[in-house]
Amino acid sequence: MPASPQPSPNHRHWLHSLDTCPSTNTWAIARAAKLHHGDVIFTKRQTSGRGQHDRTWHSPTGVLTASFVLDKFNPNLLPGLSLAVGLAVIFAIEDLVPDCRDMLRLKWPNDVWIDRHKLAGILCEATSGNNFGTRAVVGIGLNRCVDFAAAGLDARAIGNAVSLHSIASNVPDELCLLDRLRHYLLQLADMFSTTDRPPEKSGLALLLPELRRRDALIGCNVAIELPSETICGEAAGIDGSGRLLVCLAGDRIQAITSGRVRLN
Tell me whether residue 93 is in a domain.
Answer: yes
Query: Does residue 256 sit in the same domain as residue 146?
Result: no
Query: Does residue 150 sit in the same domain as residue 238?
Result: no
Query: Does residue 37 sit in the same domain as residue 82?
Result: yes
Q: What is the domain-level CATH number for residue 198?
A: 3.30.930.10
Whether the pLDDT of residue 2 is over 50: the answer is: no
> Could you read off the pLDDT of 122-169 as tens digits, one per residue?
999 999 988 888 999 999 999 999 887 666 655 555 568 899 999 988
Query: Does residue 171 sit in the same domain as residue 237?
Result: no
Element (H, E) at 226: none
Query: Does residue 236 sit in the same domain as residue 142?
Result: no
Query: Does residue 250 sit in the same domain as residue 141?
Result: no
Query: Does residue 156 sit in the same domain as residue 229?
Result: no
Tell me whether residue 141 is in a domain.
Answer: yes
The per-residue pLDDT for 50 is 63
Pairing of strands 15-18, 40-43: parallel
Q: How many C-alpha atoms does 179 have within 13 Å on its Cβ side?
A: 12
Calpha distance 205→207 (Å, rounded): 5
Query: Does residue 30 sit in the same domain as residue 132?
Result: yes
Tell me whether residue 194 is in a domain.
Answer: yes
Pairing of strands 221-225, 260-263: antiparallel
Whether the pLDDT of residue 1 is over 90: the answer is: no
Query: Does residue 72 sit in the same domain as residue 193?
Result: yes
Number of domains the chain is built from: 2
Q: Which domain holds residue 256?
A: 217-263
What count of other Cβ atoms lies within 10 Å of the Cβ of residue 205? 17
> Could you read off the pLDDT of 75-109 as tens digits, one per residue?
999 998 999 999 999 999 999 999 899 999 999 99
Tell me whether residue 3 is in a domain.
Answer: no
Calpha distance 58→51 (Å, rounded): 9
Query: Does residue 207 sit in the same domain as residue 247?
Result: no
The per-residue pLDDT for 82 is 96
Whether the pLDDT of residue 241 is over 80: the answer is: yes
Average pLDDT of the chain?
A: 88
Higher-confidence position of 11 and 41: 41
**Residue 120: partners with Cβ closer than 8 Å, 6 or more residues away:** 86, 89, 111, 112, 140, 141, 142, 143
Domain-ending residue, one of 178, 193, 211 = 211
Whether the pLDDT of residue 33 is over 70: the answer is: yes
Domain-ending residue, one of 211, 228, 252 = 211
Tell me whether residue 2 is in a domain.
Answer: no
Query: Does residue 68 sit in the same domain as residue 185?
Result: yes
The per-residue pLDDT for 141 is 94
**Residue 68: partners with Cβ closer than 8 Å, 6 or more residues away:** 38, 39, 40, 137, 138, 140, 181, 182, 185
**Residue 188: partners with Cβ closer than 8 Å, 6 or more residues away:** 70, 84, 85, 87, 88
The per-residue pLDDT for 58 is 52
Tell me whether residue 223 is in a domain.
Answer: yes
Tell me whether residue 4 is in a domain.
Answer: no
Q: What is the domain-level CATH number for residue 242?
A: 2.30.30.100
Calpha distance 156→153 (Å, rounded): 8
Query: Does residue 93 sit in the same domain as residue 168?
Result: yes
The per-residue pLDDT for 67 is 97
